[in-house]
Amino acid sequence: MSATILLLEVSIILSFVFVILFFMYYKYLTVKTEMDNIADENNYYDSSSYFREKRKGTGALSTSAFVLTDSKSIGLRYLMTSLVFFFIAGTFGVIMRVSLIEPTPTLFAHREVLYDILTTEHSILMIYMWAVGSAFGLAYYLLPTFLKVKNDRYGNISSWAYWIYLLGGVFILLSRTSTRWYYYPPLALQLNPYGAGAMNWLAVIGMEMIFIGIAIASITVIRMIIFDRGQDVPMTKMPLFAWGVLFTLIMFLASAPFMMAALVMLFYDFFNPIFFTGVNGSSPISFAELFWVWGHPIVYIAILPQFGLIYEIIPKFTGKKVFSYSSGVFALGLLMPLSELVWGHHLLNSGLGLAWGLFFTTASFAVTVPSAITVFNYIATMWSAEKIRLTVPMLFVINGIFDFIIGGITGVMQSMLVINEEVHGTYWVTGHFHFIFMGITTGIAFAAIYMIWPSLTSGRKYDQRLANWHFTLTAIGSFVMSIGWTVGGFLGMPRYVSGYFARFQVYQDIAIAGGVIIGIGQLFFLANLIKSLLEEPSTSPSNVLEDVYKLPSPGAVGGE
């Protein structure tokens, strides 16, 4: 395809998109004006807050969240979107797993590129739409209560940010790209219709839109945390979840520009390859470097808010306060600068040289310090409790901590120059991050969702049995899958390929068993959600996570 036609297509599609967006905005404005009038008559400053508070059911998972622009509604949008993408990307994952039943491709025989598409879509959607999306959902939903925010402003901007982000995610899906989540050129630059690259340009645009959406949302949330707190919540007494979110978003704003700039340069390379293709001294490695300056912080962005949430969840089940608030804040804060310094451990095999290699290895070791402080803080908090109530959210937390310990240790191991030489590009790495993504990112997101369940479903309780099944299958499945990968990877099983050497069959089969178990487990969650919505409301639509901060004197309370 020639550059001119490409440009033409891009501009036509973009103009259509903008026309549609404009129409939607017009419609929205009409309704909004009416709502504003009603709210005004009732002495409310912000119409969305008025409607959320006065109308039954608008605080729950419902379409009204997509129209209202108060923080809670925005949070619900993000939560719903992230759940949908979790199920889509999860299905991709299970199908990939199943296709590896034999050493030679079975499902995708002679169409191996489909595997490459699935693995790319799975990773991008899971990281940006599920991990980041659910974190934003919980932040927007919980923080106004946690921080006693009085003046919930900037809802319009957050709303725009959400739509840009969502459209970006949809573009990623539509692009059917196979570049892997790191977009390395020259693969990302090929426009070969059969190598699943025909729409790579759309994948680049979609990615950039996701970034723009997240950037805008980050700024509004940072603003909310720093400037819009209620008077009786000083910075030093902020809930740890707020600290976690704050650090995450600062980290995002400090590292995302590298990737955003790299994507623009990559896009330019479609027309005039000067940046990354190897001509005139340019090099694909420069893209890899720009990517990983962002690529390592993103993996911490996917756990820092959840780390903060764990601090919120544990006290509800032990009845004790967090063991050490200050060291909690300190550790979360220390993770932020350190995570910015270790990105080179993803490129230890790319010829950075021994000196750089040693630097990044050492820096990666340093990351264990704040990680360990955090984990010990959790353990100490649980240790000092007389009794721990082991319902599903708490089980998710304990399992998450356990998984994080394994994932952290394998992470530090592979940061060593020598070991990295051995395990780079193998399933060891896949095992490493799935321990953490499944245990912390996914597990804690579900724990929080279970805790705010009555609010999400306007006053229903979740079914304990189904939730227990969901937890058990998720925990067992992800452990089995990740351990199969970790062991197989240590023996040299290459990752990101649609087939494997016959001698690895046993590890692949273990991982398939785990993957299928996880997949079945998520069906229990879906069943639980549907079941709840079919029932009559049986409890008040408040939830334990938020209730503490609504009480005049904070103390531990029991919760479902």
Partner 1 sequence: MVEKEKKSIRGAAYGIIIILLIALSLTFVLSAPTQTAGGLTDPSNLPVKGYMNITLWADAAGWDTNHGPVNPTLYIPLDYMVNFTVIEEDGLPHTLTINKGPKEDSATLTLLTTGQITQIIGHKSHASYEFFEPGVYTYWCTVHPTTMVGQVIVNSTASNSTANSSASLCNCVHSNNNEFNKISSLLPLQSLVEMAKANINNQVMTTMVL
Q: Is residue 533 a contact residue for partner 1 (CB under 8 A)? A: yes
Longest CA pairwise span in the chain (Å):
73
What's the rounded Cα separation, in Å, for the pair 190 and 195?
8
Q: Provide the minimum distance between the beta carbon of 342 and ligand HEM in the complex, in angstroms, as a whole number.
A: 7
Q: Is residue 100 a contact residue for ligand HEM (CB under 6 A)? A: no
What's the rounded Cα separation, in Å, for the pair 305 and 316?
18
Q: Is residue 76 a contact residue for partner 1 (CB under 8 A)? A: no
Q: Which is nearer to partner 1, 354 or 534 (CB)?
A: 534
What's the rounded Cα separation, in Å, for the pair 287 and 456?
42
Where do we find the tokens 């998450």?
400
Question: CB under 6 A: which stretch of 144-152, 192-200, 267-275, 424-432 binds ligand HEM?
Answer: 424-432
Q: Which is nearer to ligand HEM, 224 or 342 (CB)?
A: 342
Name the nearest CA neighbour of 298 among 206, 433, 168, 414: 433
Q: Report the run of H or E that residue 52 belongs to, with start and end.
A: helix 47-54
Q: Provide the minimum distance between the beta carbon of 176 and partner 1 in the complex, in angstroms, as a whole number.
A: 4
Report residue 252 as tokens.
Answer: 């995002």
Q: Is residue 247 a contact residue for ligand HEM (CB under 6 A)? A: no
Q: Is residue 167 a contact residue for partner 1 (CB under 8 A)? A: no
Q: Provide the minimum distance between the beta carbon of 253 and partner 1 in the complex, in angstroms, as a whole number.
A: 31
Query: Which of 175, 248, 306, 364 forms a contact with ligand HEM (CB under 6 A)?
Result: 364
Binding mask 209-248 for partner 1 (x = CB under 8 A): ----------------------------------------
DSSP secondary-structure letter at 462? P
371 binds, among ligand HEM, partner 1, Cu ion, none (CB under 5 to 8 A by kind): ligand HEM
446 binds, among partner 1, ligand HEM, Cu ion, none (CB under 5 to 8 A by kind): none
DSSP H stretches of helix in 198-302: 200-227, 240-271, 284-301
Q: Give the three-state DSSP class for 494.
A: strand
What's the rounded Cα separation, in Å, for the pair 202 and 185?
15
Interface with partner 1 (CB under 8 A), residue total 42
113 binds, among partner 1, ligand HEM, Cu ion, none (CB under 5 to 8 A by kind): partner 1
Q: Is residue 497 a contact residue for ligand HEM (CB under 6 A)? A: no
Report residue 418 as tokens.
Answer: 């020598």
Q: Provide the minimum distance between the beta carbon of 348 and ligand HEM in the complex, in angstroms, as a whole number.
A: 6
Q: Are 129 and 208 in contact (CB under 8 A)?
A: no
Report residue 366 as tokens.
Answer: 């340093």
Q: Which is nearer to partner 1, 467 or 548 (CB)?
A: 467
Q: Is residue 545 a contact residue for partner 1 (CB under 8 A)? A: no
Q: Which residues pair with 494 in a beta bridge?
A: 426
Report residue 60 as tokens.
Answer: 């729950």
Name the nearest CA neighbour of 154 among 56, 70, 38: 70
Q: Is residue 176 a contact residue for partner 1 (CB under 8 A)? A: yes
For CA atoms 409, 295, 480, 426, the dihedral sign is: negative
Q: Which is nearer to ligand HEM, 357 or 411 (CB)?
A: 411
What's the rounded Cα separation, in Å, for the pair 530 and 338?
43
Where do we find the tokens 């979609």?
206
Q: Is residue 33 a contact residue for partner 1 (CB under 8 A)? A: no
Q: Provide the minimum distance between the beta carbon of 60 and partner 1 in the complex, in angstroms, as a whole number.
A: 10
Q: Which is nearer to partner 1, 15 or 104 (CB)?
A: 104
What's the rounded Cα separation, in Å, for the pair 444 and 303?
9
Interacting residue ranges for ligand HEM, rule: CB under 6 A = 299-300, 302-303, 345-346, 364, 367-368, 371, 408, 411-412, 414-415, 420, 424, 429, 432-433, 436-437
Interacting residue ranges for partner 1, rule: CB under 8 A = 61-62, 83-84, 87-88, 91-92, 95, 102-105, 110-111, 113-114, 117-118, 121, 173-174, 176, 192-196, 198, 499-503, 526, 529-534, 536
